[in-house]
Amino acid sequence: MTTEWVLGIGREAILTALIVASPMLIFGLLVGLIISIFQAVTQVNEMTLTFIPKILAVAAALLLFLPWMINRLITFTTQIISSISGFS
């Protein structure tokens, strides 16, 4: 086990985590942007107005992308487990 190998696995783990979390983050960002534009146009400055739509958008993204996210995580885990056999 070399330093490069460990850094490579760490890099792949962080990249996989970012890719898996990105649909939910993007949906939350878009809904937040739409609500902010709506608040700016109507001059409604209610701070709690964004929470419920963001929660619903993130939950919808989770339900929509859950099969893809699980498949991506299973693929990453399978690659890690299969590379363990090469340590001997």
Where in the sequence is the domain holding 13, given as residue range(s)?
A: 3-82
- How many domains, the chain? 1
Does 28 map to a domain? yes
Please check whether residue 88 lies inside any domain of the structure.
no
pLDDT in tens, 32-41: 999 989 988 9
Comparing CA positions, the residue from 14, 19, 25 lying closest to residue 61 is 25
pTM passes above 0.85: no
Q: What does the pLDDT average to over 2-26?
A: 92
Residue 88 has pLDDT above 60, yes or no: no
- pLDDT for 84 equals 81
Alpha helices (runs of H) in 1-50, residue ranges in sequence order: 3-42
Task: Give the separation between CA 57 and CA 78, rounded to whole angstroms.
Answer: 30
The reply to whether 87 falls in a domain is no
Tell me if 12 is assigned to some domain: yes
